[in-house]
Amino acid sequence: MGFLQLNAIHKSFHREAKVLHNISLTIEEGEFFVLVGPSGSGKSTLLKIIAGLEKMDGGQILLNGERMDTRSPRERNLSMVFQNYALYPHLTVEDNILFGLKCKGLDQEQQQKRLQECITLLGLAPYSKRKPKELSGGQRQRVALARSIVSHAPLCLMDEPLSNLDAKLRAQMRIEIKQLQQTLGLTTIYVTHDQTEAMTMGDRIMVLHQGDIQQIGTPLELYNQPTNLFVAQFIGSPTINSAHAILNDHTLIIAGCYSLTVTEQQYAALPQDTALIIGIRPEQLTIGCDFELPIVALEQLGHETHITLQMKEQSWTLTLQGQHHYQVGESLSLTATTILFFDAHTTNFIR
């Protein structure tokens, strides 16, 4: 039995607007579990249901084998970090951190002990007497984290806590939050729409789309063996290149006009003369001799080069390490080191 179990959770806001469909999963103690998906997929609603801030229409939530969904939010013994920090502007950093403990009536000695542990761990000691308006975005987010961990709750819920920060600070805070979670052994459920956050922070990731679980797995499982085309397109940046294809004997015909020879292993696994969709990651497309595509744009990032290519009516991306000085209008001969195959009708991954 897992630390947290969700059994057949479903939710509708209106009779015809189902938000969550039969969500069942198990989260282990000390795990950093990420809920990811596009806007409107139901991830924040699921987090609110776990917190008790939203009522579900059916299902069960168990924490250490005991029913949790019948309890009020206050009785669920969890903490939450929000997107907007939710700090009291008239209180100092230390008073914001201690607010929840004071409401619970914890004695002064324990309050101060936990406060010192948190502000030391998060580097907030120099700012303990300041008010939120005197802090940077990153410092405010650390205060929100401190307020969460000072409660010593066994479960922490985070709802897109980094979305208000700039790119550089988000990258820094990703590392800090993950290190903090590992240091404390805190079971964390983290909601984001940013697949980079999901890939770099999660022990496991659940991909949601239109209220349905698409796949649960480690970051590399989702990247290398996506259960369907939606997961393949959602996970990975730049996004995966895709095109319709069909296998004729040992020849894979792509987009009706490009062809390459498949391996014996691919030949044995793939159906003949059946509509397929292929997926090729930008870094798994490389210079070769199988097919030729024209360049329509280049992005020089210093450490790597992103090249946009014209594949019939759509764009493909080629990612090359280092600096490359091709010209728009020039054509490149290409091959693929790895190809993912999907059924064109179901969009399911063909293993």
Show the tokens assigned to 69: 């969904």
Looking at every residue in the chain, the average pLDDT score rounds to: 92
pLDDT in the model for residue 296: 97
β-bridge mates for residue 196, sequence order:
none
Report the candidate in 349, 343, 345, 29 with the shortest Cα–Cα distance to residue 214.
349
Question: Which residue's entry shows tokens 């000695």?
Answer: 109
What CA–CA distance (Å, rounded) separates 176 from 143? 13
Identify whether the C-beta of residue 77 lies closer than 8 Å to the C-beta of residue 153: yes
Intervals of the chain under pLDDT 50: none
Q: Which residues pair with 190 in a beta bridge?
A: 34, 158
3-state SS of 206-272 is EEEECCEEEEEECHHHHHHCCCEHHHHHHCCCCCCEEEEEEEECCEEEECCCEEEECCHHHHHHCCC
SS3 138: helix
The pLDDT of residue 233: 96
Q: Enumerate domains of the chain plus CATH numbers.
A: 4-228 (3.40.50.300), 241-343 (2.40.50.140)
User: For the segment 41-67, what is each residue's pLDDT rounded down to a tens digit?
Assistant: 999 999 999 999 999 999 999 999 999
Angstrom CA distances, 49 to 45, 68, 86, 246, 350, stand at 6, 11, 19, 44, 35
Q: Which two tokens stand for residue 63?
A: 């924490």
Token pair in block for residue 240: 């995966």
DSSP H or E run through 102: helix 93-104
